[in-house]
Structure 1
């Protein structure tokens, strides 16, 4: 139903544009949310975008512009007059302007900065100096701050005069004459306080803040942990330089989750939507990992080659290699994903390695024994009795099932240790996820398989 409604709306807007019913069109658009308008514009012909965008009121136009994809933003900017571009830039919050500048080509950036007022230009350039993926790179400098000697009445009056230009006014930060952060107070507390209450007496002095160089993923985790609406950002001398708002934290969480999924799948992360990423660019992001994994898989071939004589004597063993390697890979992936999630949420640290390994060993023993028992029943009842595969003897079944137990244990230990080691040496734990772990576990499984066969079957 939702998809059908969107299609109907698109058709309605298209009909209104073609019929030049601009007043009706504007009346419809102003009732919509900016993100919905941006999504709708994405489906409209590019030639219609400038006309549709010009129908929006100034503030709604700026909000919609922020929600649009970089390609559509660039298209609009190229069609804007200098005055139109200035109107949009003037309505943007600094952090949104920075995000747009980072995505645009140099010639477009030059136009944007040229139309920005000197103060906006200074703030944009200041934020651009911070490293990518740092708190400084996602913060905004448009926040409410007051001096500790002000009264609640004075603070509220000042917020009324200046709050319209701030990204959020729900939290007021208290700073001294050197801009050092000494406290914070919510707008709720201000409204419920007496007019002559002094801020330093009613403020919260234990303020949680982050440094400008703090990793943005850690900052996003703090929002989830403390339920913040905004988080102050300070420099090395504890001077307040900006705030990170919850909408920016949500964007970071989405970006980091997408990046981790791509690494889990053995791909180089991309910041473009799937359908907007070219075939050549997609090939470049995937082929390095495929080459590495293909070459690493030669280890598996080397192990099999080394046991050719054993396999020739007991050909029945060959049929169960895929099942054992697949089970090992799945077991390792389960452990690695659980540990990677724990690391990303701050639930697990490298110092917890022994505890994590001990837990995974106990889980692995239970999983391995359960799988082996079920597999033994299946080998005897199905393979031997039902399908009359006489090569599946009791000793062969014992080899397969014992290998299953050992493989699950080794795979889960490897799956939990490798991400922890990656975190320790400051690599992304997601790199140690399923593709890499599966290759390692495949080799371990085959070595265990043939060694167990050699002991039990005397080959």
Structure 2
């Protein structure tokens, strides 16, 4: 797809130079809005308004929604108020809200000035909801029906008003603004009679969310119940909007990206990688790097406290990296598994006992297996192949036993910290690989030197 965009972009550049605008239009109208936005991303900002004006009004608005905020801002500055008004007239409310949230204040003022009063009112209402809530990602454009309406009247209303709605597949049955049911277009079309009333075919077993429900929970519910849209109600069960499937997909992508960045030890960024400058990346990475570097001081302090033990048997130092790495990897496996289960709603804090018991059993099996392999490796490689006479059977026992205990400790830390973080209201992803690895490194050293001191009489 990237290669295709580059090819189209080069073709458009050539056609622009030759001023063959009709040919450019013929190419663009055959493309998907998302593909047009991808091509526009590589076009010089001063050429964007010209290309944008070649698009039919509806296609122009759809392509505008798909563009990155930087291109949107550049384009808004390059088009007239009349052109901006035409774009705003074609936008759905939730798309307009997304654009407003990304723009600087002076651009927002211009956007709102060109929006019609009704849209401006709806945008301002949605912006008042908490960030990352269902209210902040919903749209207020949906098909409304009443229980006493006939099937024929409902189909007629869809024909008259559906063109301005984001989705018409599911219609919402309201009585005095209260949501009492839903009915699909399929049910309407397959109804035995056009005179049948809506209340006789509507689905009254409703799945709803409130305006303050977390957007990630909304996306999870839509996935669980296979919904194309989910109604959003207020505290009195009055319907205020819907969250559509495409918005839920955007939420999933944003939340997954954020979790991956946090788990990798970075603060989340709103910019894509190619749009982030080296200084942007520095700002997002340096806080965690600094924290982890300082926290690693504890491992240095532990090693310093056991300098005499290391001096008495220097071969012990050779096994420290293996023990720390294995412990870190074991902890990361557990933490990632638990974090993912928490994000999918599979685990609650009340399941902590079950999780710990399962991880203990897993750790015992993994630890026993790794311990045997480690003992064989130490005796075969370190003693026989490398010829290190200082490596005795007792040293191999110490290393193998340490490995087993380290795996157990690492898995317990890896499974409990994310659940504790969730309970305290923090993002469980914070307790991922970098953070847990630092804790496990310190634990593995304490276990190693404790066992070595006891068994080797150091």
TM bracket (short chain): over 0.9
Distance 1:293 1:344 in 2: 25
Determine if the alignment matches structure 1 residue 371 to structure 2 residue 370.
yes
Which moved further from structure 2: 2-11 or 311-320? Answer: 2-11
Deviation at 1:196, TM superposition (A): 0.9
RMSD over equivalenced CA pairs, Å? 0.9
**Alignment partner, residue 416 of structure 1:** 415
**Alignment partner, residue 361 of structure 1:** 360
**Alignment partner, residue 407 of structure 1:** 406
Map 1:422-437; keep pairs closer than 5 Å: 422-437=421-436
**Alignment partner, residue 184 of structure 1:** 182
Distance 2:102 2:455 in 1: 63
Kept in 1: contact 2:6–2:39 (CA 8 A): no
**Alignment partner, residue 450 of structure 2:** 451
**Alignment partner, residue 208 of structure 2:** 209
How does the TM-score come out when normalised to structure 1? 0.98
**Alignment partner, residue 144 of structure 2:** 145
Distance 1:4 1:277 in 2: 21
Distance 1:174 1:70 in 2: 36
1:204-255 residue CA offsets vs partner (Å, 9 max, x unmatched): 0011000000000101111211111000000111100000000000000000
1:36-56 residue CA offsets vs partner (Å, 9 max, x unmatched): 000011112222211111100
**Alignment partner, residue 26 of structure 2:** 27
Distance 2:59 2:390 in 1: 74
**Alignment partner, residue 132 of structure 2:** 133
1:345-384 residue CA offsets vs partner (Å, 9 max, x unmatched): 0111111111111111111111111111111111111111
Map 1:194-233; keep pairs closer than 5 Å: 194-233=193-232
**Alignment partner, residue 349 of structure 2:** 350
**Alignment partner, residue 271 of structure 2:** 272
Deviation at 1:3, TM superposition (A): 4.8
Aligned residues: 457
Distance 1:284 1:4 in 2: 31
Distance 1:247 1:275 in 2: 24
Distance 2:302 2:118 in 1: 66
Deviation at 1:293, TM superposition (A): 1.0
Distance 2:179 2:70 in 1: 39
Distance 1:447 1:116 in 2: 65
SS at match of 2:242: strand
Structure 1 pair 6/103, CA: closer, same or farther in 2 (3 Å)? Answer: closer
SS at match of 1:268: coil
**Alignment partner, residue 281 of structure 1:** 280
Structure 1: tracts of 5 or more residues without a match: none
Which moved further from structure 2: 92-101 or 38-47? Answer: 38-47
Map 1:63-212; keep pairs closer than 5 Å: 63-177=62-176, 179-193=177-191, 194-212=193-211
Deviation at 1:166, TM superposition (A): 0.2
Map 1:333-344; keep pairs closer than 5 Å: 333-344=332-343
SS at match of 1:172: strand
Kept in 1: contact 2:209–2:231 (CA 8 A): yes
